[in-house]
Structure 1
């Protein structure tokens, strides 16, 4: 019987050459799960953002002119008192050593102790965070609940060049309101509705504990006005584009109810672009909330960080910068999660996966 050598026989299509096969492991699991790939990628992004905020928050206080030790020592203190305070605060250490100490403390969850109040920075932040969080979250929810339906309604009413007066008027009004800075809108609302009509209270809720949600109406309105105009204009434009697609023409040919056409086919297809842009706008609203707090004298992170800068309270500045930056990062993460739930292809690297 003739023996044939298989050493030089061509391999069948799709087979592997002899040798140890790779065992199914983490790489195979990651390749099959777009959500796991997304989680790993975003976890790395959050970690990089956190480390960048640590570096930036440390370096930014070095640019603030003046020495906090002189302010703490008082006007009548001599140089010996100033040096003693600098030593107590660790300001006499080399910058590299201070940076290493700062990074080590933050990574262990310790944001330091306030120079002015001698309290843990985390305690100060937690006492002010509810005011900023209330304004920011309420503002974001208000923007999404008003801007998306408003933009869709204008897009539906002006479809195919209809009601051109409405389209032009909406563009002019939205463009004008969008150009008004937040602090100007806040000041106008205070003069009009607090000092003038007197519908809403002007006293911050921290100083009038019995006041309720009405104390936040004007700050939220001032914060949300500009983003509502921006996002509604984007939604109007995306609605006009979606309505001209073939599947929308087919839906109109089937005589489907208007609400079903809008919610089932138009809304999901315009949300991807809208939410992508909204993520950037909503992140910027965190910074806007800081300015709005100053106008309304709310005891949130905004007024806290401004006071800390004036007092040269380095640990408070650093802690608040890190917290505000991470809040913005988590808002972006939430937007990406929503986009992934709408369409898994938005997770990245998952095209074609059902």
Structure 2
């Protein structure tokens, strides 16, 4: 991946004409609306195409048929599929996802209780990934520029490949075995104390950090060989000023693009990691709901994850357009 910047960072922040920004905003809004509609439709159909009767599963195999029929009628499951679909779409804007078949608690209430816990986990993991990837990528790029630091390059490449390919849930199991079970330094599960955040956050962050550090290094190496960086060196500016003030901002566009994608995958990764650490968030809840066939809860949580990923991708596009307005020029 090569950087799009070939000039000083100030050039990249030149404003585009207002009409181009308007077209850019309209395109992104249209894509977001279409994606949301596809997501809503897929979540609805997913529940209705899954074999088995969720009402029968919730009430048990010995429940009288009359009770099962009454429960289905109260949930609107006897209505025609288009009617159920329209009722579902009507309730989404107000956050009405129905009630849990098992607990009778509104799905929105369950999501409201679990979402902050998952958001904190994903947010801390993303911040840790950035805090590791950017300085590591910059330092390795500076030390391995033009064939120097061969050992550093090999060590970095090997470590980043290993960490980037290990599934986060498998990494979590290994961390639990070493630091929670063998050394007993941190709790095995839950989120009762600050130390219980360490292993889940690290499990989620290390893989994305390794991938992102490789991107940062590649982009920094490309920027360090540009003409304006050579000009900055000829002015006898300090290496730290050249690397951090002049080079790093021009390497941030591609890093931000990959960072947004990694954040999306990181949010999805909370499902498995939460179950490894019994983390009381959406990921743990959705797996328990799948096991109990509580499809209303599954449907609501799937929507929350999907909307989260769509919003992250949209905000990433907007941030890239602000940092590098020329990235929107080629779009019609």
Aligned equivalent of 1:172, options 144, 154, 158:
158
SS of equivalent to 2:92: helix
> Which residue of structure 1 aligns with residue 217 of structure 2?
236
Aligned equivalent of 2:274, options 293, 306, 311:
293
Aligned equivalent of 2:259, options 273, 278, 291:
278
> Which residue of structure 2 aligns with residue 66 of structure 1?
52
Aligned equivalent of 1:49, options 9, 13, 35:
35
Give the conservation status (yes or no) of the 8 Å contact 2:282–2:301.
yes
Give the conservation status (yes or no) of the 8 Å contact 1:112–1:315.
yes
Q: Deviations along 1:64-112, whole A, 9 cap, x unmatched? A: 2211121232232232222222222222222222112111111343221
CA distance, structure 2, for counterparts of residue 74 and residue 266 of structure 1: 64
> Which residue of structure 2 aligns with residue 103 of structure 1?
89
CA distance, structure 2, for counterparts of residue 32 and residue 76 of structure 1: 66
Aligned equivalent of 2:183, options 197, 206, 213:
197
Query: Highest CA radius of gyration, 1 or 2?
Result: 1
Q: Does 1:259 align with 2:245?
A: no
> Which residue of structure 2 aligns with residue 160 of structure 1?
146
> Which residue of structure 1 aligns with residue 131 of structure 2?
145
The answer to which of 107-116 and 292-301 deviates more is 107-116
CA distance, structure 2, for counterparts of residue 39 and residue 164 of structure 1: 45
Distance 1:196-1:282 versus aligned 2 partners, 3 A rule: same
> Which residue of structure 1 aligns with residue 12 of structure 2?
none
Deviation at 1:258, TM superposition (A): 0.9
Q: Any stretches of 5+ residues in structure 1 without a counterpart?
A: 1-29
> Which residue of structure 1 aligns with residue 290 of structure 2?
309
> Which residue of structure 2 aligns with residue 224 of structure 1?
205
SS of equivalent to 1:276: helix
The answer to which of 48-57 and 82-91 deviates more is 82-91
Taking only aligned residues, the RMSD between alpha carbons, in angstroms, comes to 1.9
Give the conservation status (yes or no) of the 8 Å contact 2:58–2:293.
no
TM-score (norm 1): 0.84
CA distance, structure 1, for counterparts of residue 195 and residue 30 of structure 2: 40
Q: Deviations along 1:264-288, whole A, 9 cap, x unmatched? A: 2211111111211222121111111
CA distance, structure 2, for counterparts of residue 256 and residue 313 of structure 1: 63
- Higher RCO structure, 1 or 2 (CA under 8 Å, sep 6+): 2
TM-score (norm 2): 0.90
Q: Does 1:125 align with 2:111?
A: yes
Distance 1:73-1:289 versus aligned 2 partners, 3 A rule: closer
Q: Does 1:341 align with 2:322?
A: yes
Deviation at 1:134, TM superposition (A): 0.7
Deviation at 1:243, TM superposition (A): 1.2
Give the conservation status (yes or no) of the 8 Å contact 1:283–1:331.
yes
Q: Deviations along 1:17-71, whole A, 9 cap, x unmatched? A: xxxxxxxxxxxxx962544443333222222222111101101112322111212
Give the conservation status (yes or no) of the 8 Å contact 2:271–2:283.
yes
CA distance, structure 2, for counterparts of residue 295 and residue 184 of structure 1: 9
Distance 1:175-1:253 versus aligned 2 partners, 3 A rule: same
> Which residue of structure 2 aligns with residue 19 of structure 1?
none
Give the conservation status (yes or no) of the 8 Å contact 1:31–1:37.
no
